[in-house]
Structure 1
Amino acid sequence: MTEAVDPDPGEDVPDDHVVPATVPSPVPALPRPGAVVGALPGLTRIAAATGLNATRWGLLTTLRLSRRLLQALRDPAAAAALAQELGVTVATVLDLARAVAGGTPVPQALARAVEVEEAQVVAGEVDERRDGSLRKRGAELLARSRDVWDDQQEHPAYARILEELAPDEARVLVLLARSGPQPSVDVRSGGPVGRVHSQLIAPGLTMVGARAGLRHVDRVPAYLDNLHRLGLVWFSREQLDDPMEYQVLEAQPDVLEAMHAQRFTKVLRRSIHLTPFGVDFCEAVLLADDGPPGGPGSVG
């Protein structure tokens, strides 16, 4: 609807002219705190609400939530109802209730619960992306297995294994590949009559360090442990067919010292072998195509 106003006396205005009146635009009203907080989800909404303690609404929300949390500790049904309302698990509600019952203010307890919930969400998203990536890589691997033109010869783990080998460990592998399984002995107490009270005096004594020409002979046990961890060697409880191998080993100073450490001792003969995977690794990575240089048993 328009309103007629008097024209300027100095102007000639037609008799039928009508000037519309100016209507001011309404000032937008600020949203109430409850309306803003109500748009937030779950624990975040409640945490924001209890943070508005300057208002009566926020204070009442804090008191009501405190009572409901304390009730949740006594009543499983109340805990389940509150968890459903907040969109969290019952365990989260109970943790929150215990914190409040222990004297933690509700806003602080809620802030902590929100941080934990957000961290779990982020971790879940990371796990989901990782699982999706693994499934994708698995599908690609199966697709390659059906590809008749895929002629990859070397195992994909060989490159990683090379990065985890010490130079001396490579020489141990070459020794096993060229000279075959190596003897080892365990020296135990108790003599030949049973093993009921037998104690291990010296385990895994070998001549691998000397035969392979290692720089750090004292590290042989650690080298063998790492090679076993990588799936390249295995330790057999069976002895080798040639007894001469053990006669030479048992004449070594460290073996003699262990044998004379107690009055009654015995020697258990073992052996060290390459695994089938270790054999393939040595042939693909460490050994020359034209055979072992220097003849059998040599380490170049």
Structure 2
Amino acid sequence: MSLLGKVLPTASAVAGTTPGLARVAAGAAWHTAGWGLRTSSRAGIRVARAMVDQDVRTGLVHETAEAVGIVAGTAARIIMPGAKPVLELDEPDHEANGHDLVLARTKETGATQDTLPMLRRRGAELLDRSRDVWADEQGHPAYARILDELAPDEARMLLYLLQAGPQPSVDVRTGGPSGLIGSTMIAPGLNMIAGRSGVRYPERVPAYLNNLFRLGLVWFSKEPLPDPLEYQVLEAQPDVLEALHSVKFAKIVRRSVHLTPFGEAFGRTTLVDEVASESAFPEHQAPETGGADLPKA
């Protein structure tokens, strides 16, 4: 048999397989079109986020490279059965082990390339941008990630702190003769932020404040606010009175809750419009070293 006869099927074989191939092609086209419609909107959202978030942009590049490797390998096996793909991308180690590491391996050499050069390149790009006097940085790059880690109630609390200013907070501790020797905490960090900001779940405010503290948006000063009237209203609240009456002798320690400079800039950039962002909001104290205590739930 000639080489041409080995490669090309007979006319009858082609005629017999054509309907089956047509059905397969039609089904593939139908499913591909449906998949494209479902994923196009999600892809558009990710591309838009990648424009402002370096981490999203890096992940999108890695996923695209992996997809290209899979398609290339599949095409090679279909066209030339038994052929090895030029490059295979294994599952990124940062997904399996929680590390920010992506490995690209070739079957031919077994060589690996981690992201250390990429990180250095990104660092060099940041320094280059810092020297560019014409660059216009619109907000901190961490803002997009922080928005993903905030509850709706926490956004309301941040907006209230931005517009209303620092808020009073009190600790209720044991007092009397025993308090002179060693005072015990009864109720820490009581405040009126829940009621004043209109949160939906006021019982979660201590946890909300913990998260805002973790994100570097608020801090808790040991110093009281200058206006004593703020504390008179707070100390008449039911939860404060309950804590005071829970022991024979009790005392109140006045404190305050503030936005950090980063938190204030975040609020101006993400929680108000452009006109309001230029307004004069109440001033918050800057954090002091050793002056912030994390409130307990």
Counterpart position of 1:183: 168
> 1:289 and 2:297 equivalent?
no
SS at match of 1:139: helix
Which amino acid in 2 is paired with 1:280? A
Quote the offset at 1:125 in angstroms. Answer: 9.2
SS at match of 1:129: coil
**Aligned partner (choices 135, 145, 148) of residue 150 of structure 1:** 135
Counterpart position of 1:250: 235
Identity %: 61
| TM-score, normalisation: structure 1 | 0.54
Gaps of 5+ in 2: 1-99, 104-111, 283-297
Higher Rg of the two aligned structures = 1
String of CA shifts for 1:23-63, please: whole Å, max 9, x gaps: xxxxxxxxxxxxxxxxxxxxxxxxxxxxxxxxxxxxxxxxx
Which amino acid in 1 is paired with 2:218? V
The separation in 2 between residues aligned to 1:255 and 1:269, in whole angstroms, is 12
Equivalences for 1:22-61 in 2 at 5 Å? none
What is the number of equivalent residue pairs in this alignment? 173
Equivalences for 1:1-300 in 2 at 5 Å? 129-191=114-176, 195-291=180-276
Which amino acid in 1 is paired with 2:226? D
Which amino acid in 2 is paired with 1:190? G
Quote the offset at 1:224 in angstroms. Answer: 0.5
Counterpart position of 2:91: none
The separation in 2 between residues aligned to 1:241 and 1:194, in whole angstroms, is 26
Does the aligned pair in 2 maintain the 1:192–1:266 contact within 8 Å?
no
Q: Mean alpha-carbon deviation: is it higher for 168-177 or for 140-149? A: 140-149
Gaps of 5+ in 1: 1-122
The separation in 2 between residues aligned to 1:165 and 1:125, in whole angstroms, is 28
Counterpart position of 1:69: none
The separation in 1 between residues aligned to 2:185 and 2:101, in whole angstroms, is 48
Which amino acid in 1 is paired with 2:236? A
Quote the offset at 1:135 in angstroms. Answer: 1.1
Assess, with a 3 A threshold, how the Cα gap between structure 1 residues 125 and 157 changes in structure 2: closer, same or farther: closer
| TM-score, normalisation: structure 2 | 0.54
Assess, with a 3 A threshold, how the Cα gap between structure 1 residues 129 and 192 changes in structure 2: closer, same or farther: farther
SS at match of 1:151: coil
Quote the offset at 1:153 in angstroms. Answer: 2.5
Which amino acid in 1 is paired with 2:120? R
The separation in 2 between residues aligned to 1:125 and 1:262, in whole angstroms, is 58
Q: Mean alpha-carbon deviation: is it higher for 127-136 or for 205-214? A: 127-136
Which amino acid in 2 is paired with 1:204? G
Does the aligned pair in 2 maintain the 1:181–1:273 contact within 8 Å?
yes
